[in-house]
Structure 1
Amino acid sequence: MAQDTPKDNAGFTLPAPTGTPAEAAPAATTASVETVPALDPVLATDTSSRDTLIGGAVLLVLFIAFFFAKNAYANGLVAKRLPPNRANASGWWLFIFLASVATAVVLAAVNAHKFLAPLFMGPLLLVALVALVLTFTSSKN
């Protein structure tokens, strides 16, 4: 059963080295330093419009959920013998508080470098704070 003919070696072979390892190491380090992220097609992909669209969809879903929470909160206040107009006002203030906090969070998630500036976050958080105070002051008897 032993064959005297050499086997054909049709398997994978590694290419011959082109230079010494000492010459290859500096070339690899300079190539990695010179790589510009803007020229790399994987890193240069602009996702800002997609991120903004996703953030807008998340906000829309949250606003719908907050609207139901506003109605539940107002109905709970009416059940506690608060007049319906005051309960509804308190519910709307709760909606404004939740919406402004959610907007701040989504903007920070979409583009933290741009939207975490005090110019954007300051007014949003100020509106949230005022709405939170008015939510509880308008719900008192």
Structure 2
Amino acid sequence: MAQDTPKDNAGFTLPPPAAEPAPATTPATPATTAAVETAPALEQVGATDTSSRDTLIGGAVLLILFVAFFFAKNAYANGLVGKRVSPNKANASGWWLFIFLASLATAVVLAAVNSHKFLAPLFMGPLVLVGLVALVLTFTSSRN
């Protein structure tokens, strides 16, 4: 069914642009033109910095994961004691498991919070190294 009358509600309309840049009077070289054209693209109108909020959320996620890993450590140590491993060795192995899981979770959360900054080898290298050493020690310290 076609209507011949225009609608009163036009729907969503965009606001007019804030200000038009003045055109350049001198011809620019291609290198300076590219720099001038990309500079406004980096400044987004209304862009919000969410790094502090993301860091706070990442810290809360890490805290929750650490509590869960602590319970997993205790369950793993109790399981080893049930398999006739001495309680001291089982407890040490459980703590190494906790350190492995904590370093892995820390690396993942840091990569999710700010991948440009924290995926650098300076941050990820030590976390991966500690995680691998803890994983090896988890299984070697639980031997009879």
TM-score where L is the length of structure 1: 0.75
Output the CA distance in 2 between the equivalents of 1:39 and 1:123: 35
Q: CA deviation at 1:38?
A: 1.8
Structure 1 unmatched runs, 5+: 1-8, 15-32
- 2:48 paired with 1:45: yes
For 1:38, the aligned partner's letter is E
Partner secondary structure for residue 36 of structure 1: helix
What's the RMSD between the two structures over aligned residues? 2.0
Match status 1:79 vs 2:82: yes
Query: Aligned residues, how many?
Result: 113
Tell me, which stretches of 5 or more residues in structure 2 are unaligned? 11-36
Distance of aligned partners of 1:13 and 1:109 in 2 relative to their CA distance in 1, 3 Å threshold: closer
Please say which structure displays the higher CA radius of gyration: 1
Aligned to 2:127, what secondary structure does the other structure show?
helix
Structure 1 partner of 2:98 = 95
2:97 aligned partner, one-letter code: L
% same residue:
77
Distance in 2 of aligned mates of 1:121 and 1:10: 61
Residues in 2 aligned to 1:123 and 1:138: alpha-carbon distance in whole angstroms: 22
Sort the Cα spacing of 1:116 and 1:11 in 2 relative to 1 into closer, same or farther, 3 A.
closer
Runs ≥4 in structure 1, deviation > 6 angstroms?
A: none
